[in-house]
Amino acid sequence: MLRIIDARTGEPTDVARARRSLVRVHARASGFDTTSLRVLLVADLLVRALELGGTPVWATLSAAADPAELRAGAAALGIRPFEDHRDAATGPGEAQTIDVLTQEAEGAATGGVCVAVAPVEPASGPVDAIVLRLALLAHRRDEPLRLDAGTLGDADDTLTRWRAAVAAWATQPSRPVPEDVRQRLRAAWEDDLDVPGVLRVLRWVETSDVPDGARFETYAYADRLLGLELTREIGASL
């Protein structure tokens, strides 16, 4: 069961009232900037984590400005589409709500669970969208982040290395994800959506004695949450 620390109370909260009950993830963005994209990314991760746990999710978005540009930027970042908040009245019935918004807008949360996202100082130049996604994922959502050359370079190097490794592991006989590894991954993302913890598990698997076929399945499984296109290089050299 996914538990999130409510930013208003500091208390961990089960995000679903009952097994398979509907959860609404509502992203509240100010406009098109990197901090707003981080808000949408956190909301996207919540949707993915809930769906992996079998919970039905309804994702909505409200943006104070530039909604079309924000949606385009989110799509480039691998964030799946959100319904317009204005259509909420015609959406599904009663649901537990998770509001995802910036720390400075925390008071705008309307109820349910509040997830506050720290600001991001953007990069000075163009950045590959999935490299940006990994750079954001590698840091806790409640920590301010500066996208400097070192942060982006680390993300780029990791993404390149992992995609090449996954492509190589895919040539070996498939093996199931080891149960202890699966449990470690789920324990991380179900504990307040600890995505840096998920990445630490993958780094351990990368250099462990886990068979290559199981490494491949582990990375493919984790990528259902991470959305980093880790299997993209499979067959590229053929």
With respect to residue 137, please indicate whether it lies within any of the assigned structural domains.
no
Shared domain for 113 and 164, answered yes or no, is no
Residue that terminates a domain, selected from 117, 137, 163: 117
Bridging pattern class, strands 3-5 and 145-146: unpaired
Shared domain for 160 and 85, answered yes or no, is no
Which is more confidently placed, 97 or 42?
42
With respect to residue 130, please indicate whether it lies within any of the assigned structural domains.
no
Question: Which amino acid is residue 144, in one-letter code?
Answer: P
Q: How confident is the model at residue 95 (pLDDT cuts 50, 70, 90)?
A: confident
Residues 179 and 188: their CA atoms lie apart, in Å, by 14
CATH of the domain at 197: 1.20.120
Whole-model pTM: value is: 0.93
Q: What is the per-residue pLDDT across 97-136, written as a single tens digit (0 to 9) for each? A: 899 999 988 776 676 899 999 999 998 888 999 999 999 9
The residue range of the domain holding 38 is: 3-117
Q: Are 14 and 5 in contact (CB under 8 A)?
A: no
pLDDT(58) > 70: yes
With respect to residue 106, please indicate whether it lies within any of the assigned structural domains.
yes
In this prediction, residue 89 carries a pLDDT of 52
Q: How confident is the model at residue 31 (pLDDT cuts 50, 70, 90)?
A: confident
Output phi, psi for 222, to 5 deg. Answer: -65, -30
Residues 39 and 136: their CA atoms lie apart, in Å, by 10
Burial of 83 (0-12, 13-18, 19+ CB in 10 A): middle
